[in-house]
Structure 1
Amino acid sequence: MTDFAKGNIGNILKKFQSIIALLVLCIVLALMSDKFLTSENMWNIMRQISINVCISVGMTLVILTRGIDLSVGSILAFSGAVAAGLYKSGIEIPSMDLYIGFTILGAILAGFSVGGTLGAFNGWVITRFKIPSFVATLAMLTIARGATMLWTGGFPITGLGSNFAFIGTGWFLGIPMPVWITIVVVIIAMIITNRTKFGRYIYAIGGNESAARLSGINISKIKIWVYTIAGLLAAVGGIILTSRLDSAQPNAGLTYELDSIAAVVIGGTSLSGGRGSIIGTVQGALIIGVLNSGLVLLNVSPFWQQIIKGFVILFAVIMDRINHPNEE
């Protein structure tokens, strides 16, 4: 075999390594469990990964700019709790003898506003005070989690009704609603990253921020928008999760940021920024979802599941460094 042919094969394997890994994983799990390839399990996997995909799409944009967002799980919880609380109880102001009720749409928009606002605050702090994204979003992780506890009083907000539950458990044209929501999010994100000036600026900032600044790109503005979108998509995940559980749990979203980062890295997005894709992230989320499902079907201990997922993430990062050794 010629060096040219070997090079082509190597490039093909690198380009489709996520898909190949997913297919191999599915084949192995199908051989080990006769329940894996059932339609019920396949739809269950799709419903489960829908939340992670929404969060991971936002995380992809952040990592493409060479940042990180550790607060998405807490923002998810707070946004979902706000939407659930407003929908169920509204806002009462006894001193003014005033009660403000919320429709489902109004409550959802309020949840989105919370997520987007917290995300924008992340971006503003990072760009205004030149704080590393790791530190700023770690602080927001604690702030948003504390705000969730205050809002809920430490107790779940339950009994949201069948109309609200339809968002997370309903079906439309034979496909679960969370999957429809995820499809819309992914399509919009792909258009933004591949077809817009904003998307090109994201890649430019991650590739070389100094060069992007010299070319006239408003770095701060783009980063603030990126973190705003990440917060907004965390809120979308929060609405889906709250609807699916028919309750807003104070501890919702714990460790979701880790699954999100895992999906992004496994999908081929570089932690060094400037390289990656939305479709790759979707493939990464599918791998995580299939792995989770398979481990559950095989009755693997939850503690071992965490260890296995940790090694999968580590392997993905190592492979990224091997394939791109010159990136800082």
Structure 2
Amino acid sequence: MTEQQLSLSTESAAPEKPAPARPTVSLGARLVHAVGTGNLSLIGALAVIVAIFGWLNPGYLDPKNLAGIGEAVTVFGLLAVVQTVVIICGALDISVGSQAGVASVVSAMAFTSASGNAFVGILAAVGVGLVLGLVNGVIIVYGRVNPVIATLATLAAYKGVAQLISGGKAQGFVLDNDVFIFLARGKIAGLPVPVLILALVALAVHCLLKYTDIGRNIYAIGGNDTAARLSGININKYLIAVYVLAGAVAAIAGIILTARTGSGQPVSGSEGLELKAITAAALGGCALKGGKGTVGGTLLAVVLLGALDNGLNVVGVNTFWQNVAQGSLLVAAVVIQQRRSGERAVGLPT
């Protein structure tokens, strides 16, 4: 037998090496991966808040109070969900609260002008919201204005519009209308209608971001706008569309605000909502530079903020402390993001 034949017979006789075993992943690790470490932190913080306020005042855990928290967060929750989309796209909309105020006034005034037709008021408010969002997008894209500066300007402008058309006071009375009563106090399968509206909008936005090419392109624009442009994505079109979406959802929030308060509110019901929306999005894991964030994380942060506000009220803490808490949480969220990103802190040596 030749040396080559002997080598071949030896190789054929050698036993095959077993394939390396795949590492097993525990059920707990899978759950952590599915939920996300950031969301787990929010859930833990929420559990601590509920436990503390429940201990300080047992009435906090009353089912009616818990349901009230859900209804209370609906308006700014809607704004936070759409703010998530704007931030993921690498922009910011500081004017969403003022847009909700304009929509609230328009819905009540159109309702009154149409002899009590609620659907006219609702359609008019949504139409105005679309226009306001379009104005924001056009200013940013074609005026080449930084989104923060542009929407800071329209925050003041839209607030002025709401005050001008309403004379600076609440307009209309809608609590004698069945549609607005249903929007404010109705229930479906035991769940308040405002909460269901928030859930439906959040689900629609989640599916848009996670399961469509549009959503993937929005993440791409926020992550690296230069690469997105070179890959053929029309960034201008997407930015305008995102701001139009923000205006439409802000209008829905304004309509719910009108239904809950019974009249169109130019400022009192909508002032400060933009800060809450941005805080919730940042706490929920949205990177303020864009390209990162989820609707689920934002919703958890919305519930967390609502539970905190309600708890402070239940235990009799001065309501001004709520603003302090919101500002502190926003700073904490940004600091955590900065540390995780590993970027050099401003003004400090590398």
Separation in 2, partners of 1:41, 1:83: 29
* Bigger radius of gyration: 2
SS across alignment from 1:247: coil
Q: Deviations over 1:56-85 (max 9, x none)?
A: 111011111111111111100001110110
Q: Is 1:284 equivalent to 2:284 in the alignment?
A: no
Q: Is 1:225 equivalent to 2:258 in the alignment?
A: no
How many residues align? The count is 313
- Displaced runs of 4+ in structure 1, greater than 3 A? 8-15
SS across alignment from 2:342: coil
Match of 1:243 in 2: 259
- Measure how far apart 1:307 and its partner are: 1.2
- Measure how far apart 1:150 and its partner are: 1.5
Match of 1:39 in 2: 63
Match of 1:97 in 2: none
Q: Which amino acid aligns with 2:137?
A: G
For 2:143, which of 118, 129, 144 is the aligned residue? 129
Q: Check whether the contact 2:107–2:255 (CA below 8 A) recurs between aligned residues.
A: yes
Could you state the TM-score of these two structures normalised by the residue count of structure 2? 0.85
- Measure how far apart 1:102 and its partner are: 6.6
Q: Which amino acid aligns with 2:248?
A: L
- Measure how far apart 1:13 and its partner are: 3.8
Q: How does 1:60-209 map to 2 (within 5 A)?
A: 60-90=84-114, 103-160=117-174, 161-163=176-178, 164-209=180-225
Q: Which amino acid aligns with 2:125?
A: G
Match of 2:327 in 1: 310
Match of 2:23 in 1: none
Q: Check whether the contact 2:39–2:284 (CA below 8 A) recurs between aligned residues.
A: no
- Measure how far apart 1:15 and its partner are: 5.0
SS across alignment from 2:61: coil
Q: Deviations over 1:170-191 (max 9, x none)?
A: 2222111101111110110111
Q: Is 1:56 equivalent to 2:80 in the alignment?
A: yes
Stretches of structure 1 that go unaligned for 5 or more consecutive residues are: 91-100
Match of 2:337 in 1: 320
Q: Deviations over 1:272-298 (max 9, x none)?
A: 110010111101101110010011011
| Residue 153 to residue 270, structure 1, CA distance change in 2 (3 Å) | same
Q: Which amino acid aligns with 2:200?
A: V
- Measure how far apart 1:165 and its partner are: 2.5
Match of 1:94 in 2: none
Q: Which amino acid aligns with 2:143?
A: F
Q: Check whether the contact 1:76–1:238 (CA below 8 A) recurs between aligned residues.
A: yes
| Residue 107 to residue 15, structure 1, CA distance change in 2 (3 Å) | closer
SS across alignment from 1:157: coil
RMSD: 2.0
Q: Check whether the contact 2:39–2:297 (CA below 8 A) recurs between aligned residues.
A: no
Could you state the TM-score of these two structures normalised by the residue count of structure 1? 0.91
Separation in 1, partners of 2:260, 2:342: 43
- Measure how far apart 1:158 and its partner are: 3.4
Q: Percent identity?
A: 34
Q: Which amino acid aligns with 2:207?
A: I
Q: Which amino acid aligns with 1:214?
A: L
Please, which moves more after superposition, 295-304 or 152-161? Answer: 152-161
Q: Which amino acid aligns with 1:315?
A: A
